[in-house]
Amino acid sequence: MGQQHIAATLQQLVDRQEIRDCLHRYARGLDRKDLDLLRSAFHPDATDHHGGSVEYHPAAEALINDWERRDAHRSFSQHLLHNMSFDIEGDTAHVETYYQLVVGITPDAPTELPPLGLSGGRYVDRFERRDDEWRIARRVVIVEYASQLDERERAHHLLWARRSRRDPSYDRPLVSPSRDDEPAAS
């Protein structure tokens, strides 16, 4: 193995770890309601697409506003991050991360909310390294399952997974999928 190969491999490992650290800041920021930590995961001009008509821009501030509104009846949330795949090219990386979200609902919540919500899917992110720091520049959230959403919210908020190359995780560059492209969950 030549020195250039070793240096390139080492840089890939460092990049992957810095991206993982950013994803963990995002999850911890939401779960601990640490808004500065959450902001540190996104570039100021980042976007976050959740399907339907929900597009957060700038991602961090709009996501914080929505999360605070929805958080009124949450006693806790726990974002669990699982499998991660990385496609890193220079200062741009496409990263797919499986997530699971568990949410506890307070006893004073409206009766139509179950005491516990569970959802899971994938974060499909375009990361960019700017000023020597990896952050999310573009996010598309793909839902695999959700236990607590009513039909209005399900239709409005979610982008469902596809078991084909039409899944948004294959998009380069990462774009907002059109509403017509979103099949019902199966």
Which uninterrupted H or E stretch holds 68? Answer: helix 59-70
CB atoms inside a 10 Å sphere around CB 18: 16
Domain boundaries, the chain: 3-181
**What pLDDT score was predicted for residue 71?**
67
**What pLDDT score was predicted for residue 102?**
86
Which uninterrupted H or E stretch holds 144? Answer: strand 133-146
Task: Compute the C-alpha angle 179/56/33, nearest 5°.
Answer: 135
**What pLDDT score was predicted for residue 163?**
73
SS3 152: helix
95 close to 86: Cβ distance less than 8 angstroms: yes
Cβ-based burial of 45 (10 A; exposed 0-12, middle 13-18, buried ≥19) = exposed
**What pLDDT score was predicted for residue 55?**
67
Pairing of strands 133-146, 42-49: parallel
Tokens matching residue 122: 């994938």
Q: pTM of the entire structure?
A: 0.80
CB atoms inside a 10 Å sphere around CB 57: 13
What is the dotted CATH code of the domain comprising 3-181?
A: 3.10.450.50
pLDDT at 119 over 70: yes
**What pLDDT score was predicted for residue 186?**
39
Distance CA 27, CA 41 (A): 9
Q: What is the mean pLDDT of residues 45-64?
A: 73
